[in-house]
Amino acid sequence: YNTNVKDFYKDGVIDIIKYINETWDNQFIIHFDLRCDNILIDIDNESIKIIDWEFASVGDPYWDLAVICGDLL
């Protein structure tokens, strides 16, 4: 797995924001620690896996978006 998600996600952040705006509900299951180190990307098989779910909770999806954006800076 390629864990270098910074380049992979930069182009998709706007699409993620649009999706959240269209489907927003504060009762999403969120990861709560969605950082680059917790995302595994297999470019050859076009798959993404999110790991390390021990802090998962119900909450606002903008939290996960803010955490991953902060990690990309």
Express each pLDDT in 17-69 by its tens digit: 788 778 776 678 899 999 999 999 988 988 889 999 999 998 888 899 899 98
What is the four-CA torsion angle of 60, 61, 66, 72, rounded to 10 degrees? 160
Any idea what DSSP says for residue 16? H
pTM: 0.63
The CA distance from 68 to 33, in Å, is: 8
Query: Could you tell me how many residues make up the chain?
Result: 73
Bridge partner residues of 47 (DSSP): 42
